[in-house]
Amino acid sequence: MKEQAEQVLKKTYKRRESITQKVTEPPWINDEIRKKISQRRNLNKRKRNAETPEVKEEMQRLYKEKKNEVQTVIKEEIYKHERKITDEVKNSSEKGKRIWEHINKLKGKTQTKEEDHTLYNDDGNKMSEQEMISKLKEFWSNIYQKHDNNIKEVWNKEEMEKLCVHDRDNKSVNSNNTKMITPVRV
């Protein structure tokens, strides 16, 4: 059992790709903004840890000033960044072709990179495209079938047998009274 578990782990480990997501900062953040945010955080910490109400009020006042200052600087940098991108759109010779790229830049969206997903066979070797296609078809053909779905009959097989036996008994007694019995889901 342990060996089988190790084999499964090895296969799944090979299949998984290590995806590391880097926390990306907005393009308009610079060192000045980082420094002011750090100062604002320090003021907030000092305000929370203040021992006397007077010091706490003073730290609260300084914190609010720094907060407003940070917000102002951030708004200016965002404006500069958006202005830069709109100027690129205006000055671009391919305005129609590239406009959506620039709109997505303004929205903060970036292009998604295409990842190559490969499948591995039981030996741990990469499958060829034909093998992958055949495996996928085999997998999905088991799920989606083109024939009629007789699931009610499968689910209610025992119930159907009981009803049919009961119906046969009734027909032998009353051959003129025939009823249609529909299967009921249990």
- The string of pLDDT tens digits covering residues 70-88 is 999 999 999 998 898 888 8
Q: Which residues pair with 126 in a beta bridge?
A: 120
**CA 66 to CA 107: how far, in whole Å?**
27
At residue 131, the pLDDT reads: 83
**CA 167 to CA 186: how far, in whole Å?**
19
- Helix (H) or strand (E) holding 89, with range, is helix 53-91
What are the φ and ψ backbone dihedral angles of 126, each rounded to 5 degrees? -70, 145
At residue 13, the pLDDT reads: 53
Length of the chain measured in residues: 186
DSSP 5-56: HHHHHHHHHHH--------PPPTT--HHHHHHHHHHHHHHHHHHT-SSHHHH
At residue 115, the pLDDT reads: 64
Amino acid found at 56: K
- The string of pLDDT tens digits covering residues 150-171 is 666 666 677 767 766 655 555 5
37: which residues sit within 8 A by CB, 6+ positions away? 70
At residue 174, the pLDDT reads: 47
Pair 126, 150: CB distance under 8 Å:
no
Report whether pLDDT(57) > 80: yes
* Domains of the chain by residue range: 23-107, 116-147, 148-186
